[in-house]
Structures are given as C-alpha cells and as structure tokens.
Amino acid sequence: MAQGAPPTERRNPRTADIDTLESGEVLRLLLDEDARAVEAARAATGPLARAVDEAHLRLTRGGGVHYFGAGASGRLAVLDATEITPTFGVERGLFTAHFAGGAAALTDSSVDQEDAAELGAADAQVLDQYDVAVGITASGSTPYVAGALRAAHAAGALTVLITCNPLAPLCEQADILVVADTGPEALTGSTRLKAGTATKVLLNAFSTAVMIKAGRTYSNLMVGLVATNAKLRERAVSVLAEATDLSKEACRAALEECGGRIPDALVRLLTGCPPDQARAALAAHPGVRAAVAALGGHAG
C-alpha cells in the first residue's frame, strides 16, 4: 500500500503473521487492536465535547442531529440513531441517520452508493440552521458524506466530521473535526474492525452526552426509557426504586398514576406533588432535577 494512503488502508506490522497463528492468538491480536481503537477515541474527547455542547444548543432551538455515512461507518450511525428513542424517550427524528443508498443499501452491501456526492447533497436538503450534520467516514473522503456536508453547510447547519484519518480530505468541510487516529487495521483496509470500534464508541458517547445535557437521565439512570414490554416495565419500576430508595410497590403505584411515564413518576415521588403538577413542571423545566428544584423539592 502506498505511503500516501489513509492510515486505515495501510498494512499493520503487528498482525503480519496473523494467518499462521492459533485461534487464541488471533483473537488476542484482534482485541488488542480494538483496545487501541478505544484509546484513540478517548484522545478525541476535546473536539467531541465541543460537538456535544454545540449540538445541545441547537436542539434547544428546535433542531435535530443528522448522521450521514456509508458502509460500516454508516451502519453504525443507523444503529446509534435507532436506539435514541427507546433509550431516552425522545421523539422520533431528533436523531436521524441518512445512509448512502437508503434502506436497500443498508442490508445489501452490493448496493453501493457511497460515491454519490449528489445523493448526499439531496439527503441533506432537509437541514436548516438549527440542525447538526455529522459526517461519519473512516477514510475521511467518502463522496456521499462530502456532498451532505457541503449542502448542510450551505443551509447554515453545524457540520461535524467523525473520521479515523488525521489528514482527512473532508476536514475543511467540518466546523468541528473529531479524529480517532486508529492507524492500520488488523486486516488491511477492513475498517469494520478497529475504525468501526472507534466510530461506535464516539457515536455512543456523543449521543448519550447530548441526551444527558438535555436532562434525559437522572444520575446514571435511564429515566426516559420507553417501556414497551413486560421486562422494560419492570425495569422502569426498578429505576424508580433505585432513584428514590422506595419500595417497588410504591414505585409501581406512582408509575401507574403517571400513565407509565418514568420522569413524571420520579418527580411525583421526590416531591409528593400530584401527577399533573409533575408533568407540568417537566414541561416547563426539562429534566427531573430541574423540575424537582422548581417544585421546591430535593433531588438526591
């Protein structure tokens, strides 16, 4: 591989003999490389924090977060965006993943549209100045992402690039550049491995931090989770019991009084207010801590 290739496309000297090793050694090498990926993601905390803060500001003004990606990177973005609503109870569309080629390409890698810059630009036409466009590309050069970021910038949206290439060609199209310098893959060019690990870590951290700032958690508890089955309904009761040190019976009763809404039930339990007052306080002061404080209560 030429020296001018992105780091993710170069050969890794640490794994040159990987095809001669026993399974345990193969796994050790693969997982050692993944550990390096997590450290590379950790090193990007500074710019990622800036992206979180800027995204929070735009979401408070009615905007949304839009991911743009292709291949393994894009599929990880779809996974992250899909989990936001059930985890935090926000409206669908607050986080949206745009994948090069759409649903057909998502499950069939032979439908490859990552070179379609015009498709990225078209998908980004829904953005405005209150939105955040996050381009995800390990090489930092995917044309679909380039088209999306150009269109997003023209619309006044905040643009963020998440990449594993410190010299990403698209860096100039991003207001905020987040680089996890993962280096060569265990298998040359297979960015579903180490680059994929770093990308998943960064996306999970980004979206979770944005939701924490929005008051969608209480302590480290998922008070916004949507209880769609029996297991999750019991988890909701457990969350309330953990947050209040009250019995599960009391928490279950409060949850029923509040129509199954965990934040409402938690505010009711922490302040003693009726369900309608708890709901009104949350509407006026997003986040359980803020709502409790507004009602003169104390959040632990």
Active-site pick, 9, 33, 114, 185: 114
Alpha-carbon gap, residue 212 to 52, rounded angstroms? 10
- 54 belongs to the catalytic site: no
User: What is the Cα 186 distance to its own chain's centre?
Assistant: 25
Q: What are phi and psi of 22, to 5 degrees?
A: -70, 160
Eight-class DSSP state of 124: G
Asked if 77 contacts 204 with a C-beta cutoff of 8 angstroms, the reply is: no
For the chain, counts of helices (H) and of strands (E): 12, 5
Write out the H or E segment, with its range, that includes residue 199. Answer: helix 194-213
DSSP bridge pairs for 132 = 65, 158
Tell me how far CA of residue 7 lies from CA of 174, 181, 232, in angstroms.
Answer: 20, 8, 43
Torsion sign across C-alpha atoms 174, 62, 59, 68? negative
- 83 belongs to the catalytic site: yes
Tell me how far CA of residue 146 lies from CA of 102, 175, 276, in angstroms.
Answer: 17, 13, 48
Active-site pick, 54, 83, 242, 257: 83
Encoding tokens for residue 249? 């019976």
Using alpha carbons, select from 116, 110, 109, 113 the residue that is nearest to residue 101: 113
Q: Which residues fall within 8 angstroms of residue 172, CB to CB, at 6 or more apart?
A: none
Catalytic residues: 83, 114
